[in-house]
Structure 1
Amino acid sequence: MAFIKTTEQSSYYTDLDKKSVGELLRGINTEDKSVPFAVEKALPQIEKLILAVTNKLKSGGRLFYIGSGTSGRLGIVDASECPPTFGVSHDVVIGLIAGGDQAIRKAVENAEDDRSQGWKDLQEHAVSPKDVVVGIAASGTTPYVVEALQLCNKNDIVTGCITCNEGSPLASTAQYPIEVVVGPEFVTGSSRMKAGTAQKLVLNMISTTVMIQLGKVKGNRMVDMQLSNDKLVERGIRMLMEELTITQEEAKTLLEQYGNVRSAITSYGKTHG
């Protein structure tokens, strides 16, 4: 069967430039509502990848996201939020983008077409069979990503992917492919829209579920979060008040003493158990 990019097919909506703001918003919203259902169909694929990632991270490995453009930026966002949210080191989940860090803000011409750079970028981080590499590409054809995964496979490194087209070269390369087929975009070919939303939802699932499996959540609370601003300190105090049934002042004192919600809970339990 020939590979067809549904993300590149013509929008279901015509004459966008003639529609009112209200009509445009309703159309975009209608399309957006279809994305979670597309993700739901891919849950079995997502589960398989998460189990593989969890297994590697429990053994001291790392999770790499690699992509270009919007896909690369979304991977970087997810990776960058793991340390403050779950208290892990910055080198546990790593996001790489075609064109390097400058591409986070501005598009780097032809970066996604460089077949060799993806593997080079991974090698700069000493990628090894202990790790997992997840390629992110809405099209499923990005050379920077596809070639990187091919070389990972040759070097016994577990590979996964997130793509929004069925039967793509990327999906056939990845050992654990995730295909979230969202269909044509509201603006034809603008895969930062539904495809980007789908990728963000899947990335949320991967990092959150893996971190829960690694013990970084207690009950439903982020007990290992970094207390990097006043809002998070206040959240930590509330967590301690609710978990330990103590006053605000007692919780504040504990948090100041131990600097971490989990440590405060553990210590309190030992002295008041």
Structure 2
Amino acid sequence: MTHPGTHSGSTPDVAAGLDDLPTEAWEPGAADLDLRPTADLVALMNEQDATVPAAVARSADRLTGAIDAIAERMQDGGRLVYVGAGTSGRLAVVDAAECESTFSTPPGLVVALIAGGAAAAASAQEHAEDDEDAGRREIRSLDIGPADSVVGLSASGRTPYVVGAVAEAAAAGALTVAVTSVEASELGALAEHEIAVVVGPEVIAGSTRLKAGTAQKLVLNTISTVVMVRLGKTYGNLMVDLVASNAKLRDRVRRIVRHATGAGRDEVDAALEAADGDARVAIVSLVAGVDATEARSRLVAAGGVVRKALG
């Protein structure tokens, strides 16, 4: 087994052994795919997609362990860094960006590195995934250290860019997590936490943007959402730490405060005005029966966690 931080080399034979990977397997039952009517193809895609949640559920224990470890480090000020190439990288970019809009995470707290850089998020840069040294360099450029968590995403578990990044992160003492679609992968051997969601052959052989991509999206949703719950970004199942930057979000904030407090519309609007639109301040003010200044003070003492601020 390869140990964290010991992997070396920047130009591996990435084609070697691909025939043996579940992600590259051919599904004989779909050999007549191009001859089937559209309705059959829609049904087939739906049937295949329906198998993915069960595959993720089989990794629940591994997910739990990784999430608890990530949350513990983030509670101490660490960052969450995703690394991926192609579809994996684009999914990572989406999840990192949505942490800012959903949970008001400051820029740089949840970061996504994608092979080929920002341009690869909009236009495929598939050649970039073979550059292991680039993965290492980009981890070093973030000054990754023991407080941070690095999650590498690779359906095959062997993408050089991701392998290099995770190896570099491990050498720097960061928490490392591998999210793959194969067991006992090279990437999994490098990481402290291996989350292998084995979804089997794709409808179109080797097209891992399908079931494998869906599995990664579900895993990323789970990681970021549960970590943010653990960090106190919610009150019950309400996202109370969000920036109301448009009309839709301002209306959402009003509904959140109403649900959390049971207060009427006028009372909620007055509390939000006094709170400068901050749902957390308005909730603490209304539930505890204190003014906005006292509510802010309680939230500061509670690290921004509404439940703690309410005692």
TM bucket normalised to smaller: over 0.9
Which residue of structure 1 lines up, in the alignment, with residue 127 of structure 2?
A: 110
C-alpha separation in 2, matches of 1:13 and 1:226: 47
Residue of 24, 30, 33 corresponding to 1:8: 24
Which residue of structure 2 lines up, in the alignment, with residue 200 of structure 1?
A: 217
Which residue of structure 2 lines up, in the alignment, with residue 267 of structure 1?
A: 285
Q: AA paired with 2:282?
A: A
Which residue of structure 1 lines up, in the alignment, with residue 233 of structure 2?
A: 216
Structure 1 residue 247 corresponds to structure 2 residue 255:
no
Deviations 1:176-224 (A, max 9, x none): 0100000000111110000000000000110011110111110110010
Shift of 1:142: 0.2
Which residue of structure 2 lines up, in the alignment, with residue 136 of structure 1?
A: 153
Larger mean Cα displacement after TM superposition, 115-124 or 38-47:
115-124
Shift of 1:92: 1.1
| RMSD, matched Cα | 1.6
C-alpha separation in 2, matches of 1:35 and 1:244: 38
Which residue of structure 1 lines up, in the alignment, with residue 77 of structure 2?
A: 60
Shift of 1:133: 0.5
Q: AA paired with 1:19?
A: R
Q: Alignment partner of 2:81: what SS? A: strand
Shift of 1:44: 0.7
Percent identity between the aligned chains? 42
Which residue of structure 2 lines up, in the alignment, with residue 152 of structure 1?
A: 169
Divergent runs of 4+, >4 A: none
C-alpha separation in 2, matches of 1:18 and 1:121: 45
C-alpha separation in 1, matches of 2:46 and 2:261: 43
Which residue of structure 2 lines up, in the alignment, with residue 175 of structure 1?
A: 192
Structure showing greater radius of gyration is 2
Q: Please, what TM-score do these two structures have when normalized by structure 1?
A: 0.95
Deviations 1:114-148 (A, max 9, x none): 01111211222221111010100111110000121
Deviations 1:48-90 (A, max 9, x none): 1101101110110000000000000111111111111112212
Shift of 1:256: 3.0
Residue of 72, 78, 83 corresponding to 2:89: 72
C-alpha separation in 1, matches of 2:151 and 2:257: 36
Q: Please, what TM-score do these two structures have when normalized by structure 2?
A: 0.84
C-alpha separation in 2, matches of 1:243 and 1:215: 15
Shift of 1:109: 4.4
C-alpha separation in 1, matches of 2:152 and 2:223: 13
> Greater RCO between the two (CA within 8 Å, min separation 6)?
1
**1:76-91 correspondence runs (5 A):** 76-91=93-108
Q: Alignment partner of 1:94: what SS? A: strand
Shift of 1:244: 2.2
Q: AA paired with 1:260?
A: D
Which residue of structure 1 lines up, in the alignment, with residue 13 of structure 2?
A: none
Q: Alignment partner of 1:156: what SS? A: coil
Q: AA paired with 2:159?
A: T
C-alpha separation in 1, matches of 2:70 and 2:184: 23
Paired residue total = 272
Q: Alignment partner of 2:178: what SS? A: strand
Do the aligned partners of 2:140 and 2:168 also contact (CA within 8 Å) in 1?
A: no
Unaligned runs of 5+ in 2: 1-16, 292-309
C-alpha separation in 1, matches of 2:132 and 2:289: 55
